[in-house]
Structures are given as structure tokens and as C-alpha cells.
Amino acid sequence: MPVKIKLQKFVDKLPIPKTISPVKRDKKGSYYEVTMREFTQKLHRDLGPTRLWGYNGMYPGPTFDVTKGETTFVKWMNDLPTKHFLPIDTTIHGAGRSLPEVRTVVHLHGGKQPAHSDGYPEAWFTRNYEQTGPLFEREVFEYPNLEATTLWYHDHTMGITRLNMYAGLSGFFIIRDKLEQSLNLPTGKYEVPLLIQDRSFNPDGSLYYPSSPDEKNSRLPYPSIVTPFDADTILVNGKVWPYMEVEPRKYRFRILNASNSRAITIKLDSGQSLYQIGTDRGLLEKPVKMNEILLLTTERADVIVDFSGSFGQSIVLKNVFKGASPETTDVMQFRVIVPLKGKDTSSLPDHLTKIEFLSRNMASRTRDLTLVRVADEYGRSLNLLDGKMWIDRISEKIELGTVEIWRLINLSVDDHPIHLHIVDMQILERQPFDVAHFQATGELKFTGPAAPPEPNERGFKDTIRAPAGYVTSFIASFGPLTGRFVWHCHMLEHEDYEMMRPFEILKKKNTLKDILMRKIYPSRFQ
């Protein structure tokens, strides 16, 4: 266990990640180069420099600020050491001793990009591309930027995502469009990205990450994965419990929970409202007045806060999640002490956008998929999607453009944040059921009424909360691209240890030739 370090809160100013500029821009799009490097950075006034890995040697990485419809090309380069400084469990899939310790691949989370640029976990590469994974295809990734929203990019390497991200590999990727610009929302220095993560530290300032869930259990391999891991200190934009000096006016905050596993519920201790204008996949139809906002790991909330009546006050952004420890109940502080530099002419519109929702009658199929917890050969917790391991045959193959309903039947004891790559999900309902009855009979016996999504979830999402003991139903149109992608729990310790599965979006087979081929060679289309 880490030694508890007493750090004073709200002594470091909130940093704003730098915006990256393209190397070149032409009619094809904008081209960037990003290098992953090891470096040290002070994360708190009273901590020594912390060893980190970051995109372009920064933590968080630089922010991409791009325009809808303009393709972004990024050459992701690995200049990291050959040895990892965090504990690797070589018994889990994709992290065996035969593989290089340090491998990386980048996923643009929530983006709709071709499979070759999606950051498939087995498309990893090492320093200078000396070794590559079995599904590695290219050095330069292509992002079409199809929709305006708040995305983020992070490592997605098979078996060590939790370690690479804990080391610092994450950053914002913001896509804008003319509609958003027309809404007169707070902009410039009044629009602030907040990347929230938890970390634990050793007394010298180095990162602490556990090497085993139980150091005294000699049956366990060493190092051994911990599922999950909640650290004891909160950071925002790479600073421990920072403060931000603000004017008495409206601000827009793009808030991301980028913790490995921790859930947070944000709330202002002043009691004032948070006006949520957007979620993972962009703007909501209208602002939703919220007292507090629950964010499982990787969920985003686009929020307007009005400090106009708070001049002279210090307001703390709290984490009031039921499982928060005393150390993790504070997130950051806003000091409303900067005199207003000019009249606040920004708006909080009554209407934001029009969302074309999917209807149940559009779905061609409903899939029931379980979320289960079992024990592995060492007695450790093993979480699975529909009872399957990563290496099992692909069971979700869907034709391009097909609309399906998925019912996530959570038999485990955790609320899982379920993420599908490139697919927008619309939550339909959540309904409690009798877990023991289902385990005994395989039949769903509901114990209460179905509840619609929360008002601030009534848009499209790329990650949805699937509570323990509930059936969470969502509808989605599978596309807009074909290829092999993945779906998984975004608690990184779960994702790394088998709670991830591939799925495939197939080209439509609707010609006469295709129909005949299906009849003659049905096994080819299974």
C-alpha cells in the first residue's frame, strides 16, 4: 500500500493543456506529428518531479482543436524506453513475456474513424516501429471528424492500457462546427477543458500503482493485476487539487472523467446549478439543469456554470459519489476574484440542436448480453462480456447500417461503463431484475419498472452506465464504417483482463449473387 502523503489542497493553479498546431494543411486535410516520450513534471507544489509518459512530452497531451469535416491525419510515434516503470502482469492476455514490455497504440475515443486508424488493441507498435502487433496497418492515422463533440485520445494497448494511461498517455480532441459557433456559448478563455483523474504517489513524488491485490497471497502471480484500482488523490489537467481564478460570469467546462476505474459525481459546494448542454456525443437538444452529475470513467459532460452572483467567493467542485474516500471528495477550487473584464454577452440558449433519435421499430434484432464476474485459476476477480474471453470467436457480426437493440444483463456487483467503438448509443431504459433467478433459470424476472434515461443522458452516448442488478437497454445503428472494432468495459483494469470483445461491421450483402452465395456456401457467412 502507498504511504499516505499529506498534500495541501488548492495551492497550484489549474493548467490549461496547450493546443497542438498541424505540421501542414492542404486540400486533403491537416497533418500532425505526435511523439510519446518519458519526462518528469511537478504535479503538486510539495511533490518531487514525477516520472511520466506523455504525448509530445506533456501530461495531459496537447489538445486537438479541429473542425467538423476537415480530415485530421496524425503520425503517432513511440520514443518511450524499452522497459516499463509500472508492474506488468504477464499472465493476462496480450501481456505475455514474449511481447515487448513497452508497446503503444492510440484510440480516439468516441471518434468515427476507419478500422485501420481506430487503435485496435492488437495494432500496437514499439519504439521507431521496430516491432508491431498482428493487426498493425499504418503509421499515420486518419480521422474524418464527422461530428462536433468533445472527444479524447488515449492509449489502447492490449493487456497494458491501464498502465500506459496511468503513466500519462491521454489528451483532449475537440471537434467544432458552425452550429455550435452560432449558439453564442462562452468561448476562448471562458471555455475550459477539465480532465479529471486519480493517482497515488510515493513520498518521493513517483507514481504508486499496486503490484498485487494481496501481497501476502503466495498463490498469486507477481506482479498481479488489481481489479479495479481507485487511487487516493484527484488531479485536474495534471495538477493535484488545483484552483482556478475566474470572473463573475458564465464559463463553459468540457469535463472528462479519465480515471482508470473511479466513478465521480460532481457538485458545486455553493449549491448552484450545473447546466449540462452536452454529453459524450455532442450537444443535447436543450440545457438540463443539474444539481450533480454522475460520470463513470470516460463519460463527458459539457457544462455551463454561471459565477455572476459569486464575486469574492471560493467554490469547490466536489466529488459526492457514494464510494468516495475523504481524500477524493474534493476535485478543484474556483476563486471568483478576477474583476469582470467586460460585459458577459455569452448565452445559455433554450434550444441547442435537433437530435434524430432511433425508434424501437427500426431495430432488426435484440441481443441479450450478460456482464458477469467469475473467479480465475488464482481466485482473482475475472469480469467477462457474455461469458466470453478475448480469444473466443467473434459473436457480434452486424451488417453496415443495421439498427439493433442490445440488452446488457449485469449479473456482477459493479456498475460497468460500457463503450462501443465508432457506434453511437441511445439509452432506452434500465430495469432491475432478480439476479439469482436469472442465474438459476436463465430467465429474466423483473423486480421493478423500467426507468428511462436521466434527462442529461437523452442524447447519443459512446459510453453508457450499466448498473449492477439491472438490464440496461440501448439502441444503435452500426456504422458508418466497416471493419473490426471492439466493445468493452472502460474500467481499465477490467478491460485489460478479458472484459473486452471484438465485433465486426460487415459490408451489406444484398445483391442476387450474394444471396445465392449465402445459400450455396452458408458457412462462409456465419
d(CA 413, CA 82): 37
Q: What is the pLDDT of residue 51?
A: 98
What are residue 398's DSSP bridge partners?
A: 505
The side-by-side arrangement of strands in the sheet containing 149-155 is 64-67, 170-176, 149-155, 106-109
d(CA 428, CA 364): 16
Confidence of residue 2 (pLDDT cuts 50, 70, 90): low
Give the model confidence (pLDDT) of 172-200 as tens digits: 999 999 999 999 999 999 999 999 999 99
Q: What is the pLDDT of residue 516?
A: 59
| Nine-digit cell string for 516 | 445465392
The percent of residues above 90 in pLDDT, for the chain, comes to 93
Instruction: Answer whether residue 525 shows pLDDT above 80.
Output: no
DSSP string, 8-74: -SS-SBPP-PPBP--SEEETTEEEEEEEEEEEEE-SSTTSPPEEEEEETTBSSPPBEEEETTS-EEE
- What's the whole-number mean pLDDT along residues 150-166? 98
Give the model confidence (pLDDT) of 264-285 as tens digits: 999 999 999 999 999 999 999 9
d(CA 370, CA 442): 11
Give the model confidence (pLDDT) of 355-391 as tens digits: 999 999 999 999 999 999 999 999 999 999 999 999 9
How much of the chain is in helix, strand and coil states, percent to nearest 5?
A: 10, 40, 50
Q: What is the pLDDT of residue 4?
A: 76
Helix (H, G, I), strand (E, B) or coil at 264: strand
Instruction: Answer whether residue 513 shows pLDDT above 70.
Output: no
Q: What is the pLDDT of residue 65?
A: 98
Confidence of residue 523 (pLDDT cuts 50, 70, 90): very low
